[in-house]
């Protein structure tokens, strides 16, 4: 009987140590390597591998979605997919950006529950997009977590990614980043 109780206890403890991991979004798989991604023959795929390990790829589509910008980041240790980022349509219209932001967050709430973090530094009824382009961080975002994955939904500008010489060239979009949460050291 004691052996049975110990065996059951070991099973319960062992099952608690394994973390369930959600699937990667948009048809990607977390264990994919840059070579696996290249075999998918995605439109506009470009990959850069780094000397210190890991890689970065961008594509104009995913296995499930066409004509949307995707960024894929691969771990240094195993060179496997660890982050998938997608970017929405560019706009200068704050109401369009907020409508997309709210629609995406509604979907995230339905799948992942309440956000773990909400940062929305600006009032919605005041024009704030120019402030986002000047900020180094994303001052309008929500972060969700579930089963070893973190999802960030934020409003960003193209000024976050490249040098803009004329403010009239700045556009805004909603970026969604799915990344694996590294396991905590035991």
pLDDT digits (tens, 9 = 90+) for 8-33: 323 333 333 444 567 899 999 999 99
- Structural contact between residues 102 and 120, judged by C-beta atoms closer than 8 angstroms: no
Predicted TM-score (pTM) of this structure? 0.82
How confident is the model over 156-180, as a mean pLDDT? 83
| Of the candidate ranges 72-76, 88-92, 109-113, 156-160, the one whose mean pLDDT is the lowest | 156-160
**Residue-wise pLDDT tens digits, 92-146:** 999 999 999 999 999 999 999 999 999 999 899 888 888 887 776 778 999 999 9
Beta bridge partners of 143: 117, 152
Give the integer Cα–Cα distance in Å for 140 and 5: 51
Can you name the residues that pair with 69 across neighbouring β-strands? 87
Question: Which is more confidently placed, 14 or 45?
Answer: 45
Query: Phi/psi at 129 (nearest 5 deg)?
Result: -60, -40
pLDDT above 90 as % of the chain: 60
Question: What pLDDT was estimated at residue 128?
Answer: 87
């Amino acid at each position: 009987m004691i052996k049975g109780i110990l065996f059951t206890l070991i099973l319960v403890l062992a099952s608690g140590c394994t973390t369930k991991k959600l699937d990667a979004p948009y048809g990607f798989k977390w264990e994919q390597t840059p070579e696996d991604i290249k075999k998918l023959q995605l439109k506009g795929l470009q990959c850069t591998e780094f000397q210190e390990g890991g890689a970065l790829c961008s594509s104009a589509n995913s296995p499930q979605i066409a004509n949307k910008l995707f960024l894929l980041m691969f771990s240094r240790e195993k060179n496997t997919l660890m982050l998938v980022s997608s970017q929405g349509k560019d706009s200068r219209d704050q109401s369009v950006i907020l409508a997309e932001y709210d629609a995406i967050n509604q979907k995230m709430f339905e799948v992942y529950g309440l956000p773990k973090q909400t940062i929305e530094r600006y009032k919605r009824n005041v024009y704030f997009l120019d402030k986002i382009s000047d900020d180094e961080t994303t001052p309008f975002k929500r972060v969700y977590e579930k089963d070893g994955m973190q999802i960030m939904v934020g409003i960003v500008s193209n000024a976050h990614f490249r040098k803009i010489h004329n403010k009239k060239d700045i556009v805004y979009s909603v970026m969604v980043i799915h990344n694996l949460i590294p396991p905590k050291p035991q």
